[in-house]
Structure 1
Amino acid sequence: MPSGNSTKPRDEIQRLVSVMAALRDPESGCPWDLAQTMSSLTRYTIEEAYEVADAIAGGEPDEICDELGDLLFQVVFYARLGEESGDFTLQDVARAISDKLERRHPHVFAGQLPGDASELNAQWEAIKASERAGKARTENALLLDDIPSGLPSLKLAHKMQKRCATVGFDWPNTAPVMDKVREELDEIQQELDAPERHQAALEEEIGDALFAMVNLARHCGVEADTALRKASHKFANRFNGVEELARSQQQTLTDMSLEEMEAFWQQVKRQSQA
């Protein structure tokens, strides 16, 4: 990571804006960048956001810095497209988020005394609810209307449940949530035990169970997406250990039985917990 650079941060931001303008220059710009639209960029933005998350999980500052730069470029790209269409500029984007942050932090910017964590969270949700109410008066919006349907499914479920909780549509504690999880698992079993399996019904029941598990995670103060990501990384590490153990014994996974691989799995698991 560069250090000791005397260039002011705002100069580098302006340099990035200039680079973006050059890439979009109709005469001398990059053909790929010139062909992009807001719609075509969205999948790259999602990929870059996940790459930032992976870099943070890896804990390497240089990698995090690099991936954040890729994500920042996405924002600058959208702003350039907005400027070209006459809809908004990067300054407008920065102004909008600054206004929102100041509005949502009156304990910092409006001289209000800060409360404890629960009071601050309630204040945050109340301000967001007021903002949504203002939109509803002009757009006749419903409570869940402004939650992006294209969010990753675990995040979508979490945001919907959290939003409904703001109007009291929520379980009071984890006990009934656990009951709901068990109920949904029983319904999956019923579909599996049915004389004729209906794939669509089975998919629906598994979806209900996943939704209930997200709700359980939320009630436990756990981010379901983060928990699943960590579990996936843990699985990958242990499975890699199984493969390495097999190689050390001149075996290949495809030639091993499930019981043999399970024995290796338990060995790797014990080693990881030691």
Structure 2
Amino acid sequence: MTGDQTALMRLRDVLERLLGPEGCPWDREQTPPSLADYLVEEVHELVDAIRSNKPDDVREELGDVWFLLLFVTRLMERDGRFTLEDVLDQAAAKMVRRHPHVFAEASFADLDALWANWEKEKKKEKADRGPFEGIPSTLPPLLRAYRINSKAARLGFTWSDADGVREQLNQEWQEWHATQVEDGDSAEKALDEYGDYLFTLVEYGRRQGLKANEALDRANRKFLNRFAKLSRLAEARGIDLEGLDLNSWNALWNEVKQRHEPSQD
């Protein structure tokens, strides 16, 4: 037995103890649905650790996710639905089946052809589902928009080139802007047009290899990092941020950018 297998068995033993007659009352009351939100939260914490480039935190959060995955699997096992072996065997078989260029003799001219085969295999596996039904409704909206646009592109339901996307993006901008200046437009109409603009913007970025969800996360982190530096600078100078006018805010902000990030905007 390898070290990985021993560690997996150790974690399963811990779980069995928690679920046993003398185990934890809270753990013993859990069900797969009750654990779903915890799993989502832990995955978000894992993603945060990965994007923050903190290996120690990544290791810890991976452990939390592994534990919850085993927890859900064990509850399913107890109900006689499937076993961990079933889960892992099915995953391995699926990856082999969807990668015939690696595990068989198939070859593809380019990535587009590879993706076309991927979609073909998925359609065989889930013949009763529409092309977009596999995209979870619980995904963050920007990530879901990316997946929808990506799926549509693989189906051929997209603009033929980047110029078409830019034209559509400009049209959506104009329609959204019109809701801001014309009398009688409802907030709901403005929200709809803003959503259309964002949806098209996600596709425009996707075509350039940019993921909107990741890009916005980077922008959020950049802003918060700069603001933390701005706050420390203001504190060192005895400046009360609450009483600043916009020009003073901008002066501090630009100083932080020039001092710490001279090559960035």
Q: TM-score, normalised by structure 2?
A: 0.91
Question: Is 1:273 the counterpart of 2:262 in the alignment?
Answer: yes
String of CA shifts for 1:108-136, please: whole Å, max 9, x gaps. Answer: 222x26557x34x5324413323324422
Indicate the residue corresponding to 1:39 in structure 2: 33
Q: Residues 7 and 95 from structure 1, CA distance in 2 versus in 1: closer, same or farther, beyond 3 angstroms?
A: closer
Amino acid in structure 2 at the alignment position of 1:222: L
Indicate the residue corresponding to 1:154 in structure 2: 142
Amino acid in structure 2 at the alignment position of 1:14: M
SS of equivalent residue, structure 1 residue 166: helix
Residues 98, 121 of structure 2: 8 Å contact kept? no
Indicate the residue corresponding to 1:15 in structure 2: 10
Indicate the residue corresponding to 2:114 in structure 1: 123
Question: Is 1:64 the counterpart of 2:52 in the alignment?
Answer: no
Aligned partners of 1:7, 1:130: CA distance in 2, in Å?
Answer: 33
Aligned partners of 1:14, 1:128: CA distance in 2, in Å?
Answer: 36
Offset of residue 71 of structure 1? 1.1
Residue among 248, 252, 263 paired with 2:240 = 252
Moved more, 127-136 or 226-235: 127-136
Offset of residue 95 of structure 1? 0.9
RMSD over aligned CA atoms reads: 2.0
Aligned partners of 1:127, 1:211: CA distance in 2, in Å?
Answer: 24
Aligned partners of 2:81, 2:206: CA distance in 1, in Å?
Answer: 37
Offset of residue 179 of structure 1? 1.9
Aligned length: 262
Moved more, 264-273 or 231-240: 264-273
Q: Residues 250 and 155 from structure 1, CA distance in 2 versus in 1: closer, same or farther, beyond 3 angstroms?
A: same
Offset of residue 63 of structure 1? 1.8
Q: How does 1:43-192 map to 2 (within 5 A)?
A: 43-110=37-104, 112=105, 118-119=110-111, 122-136=113-127, 139=128, 141-192=129-180
Residue among 174, 189, 198 paired with 2:186 = 198
Offset of residue 162 of structure 1? 1.2
Residues 242, 261 of structure 1: 8 Å contact kept? no
Amino acid in structure 1 at the alignment position of 2:257: K
Offset of residue 35 of structure 1? 2.2
Amino acid in structure 1 at the alignment position of 2:5: R
Q: Which structure 1 residue ranges, 4+ long, deviate > 3 Å from structure 2? A: 113-116
Q: TM-score, normalised by structure 1?
A: 0.88
Structure 1 gaps of 5+ residues are: 1-5
Q: Identity rate of aligned residues, in percent?
A: 34
Aligned partners of 1:149, 1:254: CA distance in 2, in Å?
Answer: 40
Aligned partners of 1:56, 1:236: CA distance in 2, in Å?
Answer: 17
Residues 105, 124 of structure 1: 8 Å contact kept? no
SS of equivalent residue, structure 1 residue 165: helix
Aligned partners of 1:108, 1:231: CA distance in 2, in Å?
Answer: 37
Offset of residue 80 of structure 1? 0.9
Offset of residue 50 of structure 1? 1.8
Offset of residue 210 of structure 1? 1.2
Aligned partners of 2:34, 2:248: CA distance in 1, in Å?
Answer: 47
Q: Residues 248 and 197 from structure 1, CA distance in 2 versus in 1: closer, same or farther, beyond 3 angstroms?
A: farther
Structure 2 gaps of 5+ residues are: none
Offset of residue 214 of structure 1? 0.9
Offset of residue 58 of structure 1? 2.6
Aligned partners of 2:42, 2:100: CA distance in 1, in Å?
Answer: 32
Q: Residues 254 and 197 from structure 1, CA distance in 2 versus in 1: closer, same or farther, beyond 3 angstroms?
A: farther
Q: Residues 7 and 135 from structure 1, CA distance in 2 versus in 1: closer, same or farther, beyond 3 angstroms?
A: closer
Aligned partners of 2:200, 2:57: CA distance in 1, in Å?
Answer: 35
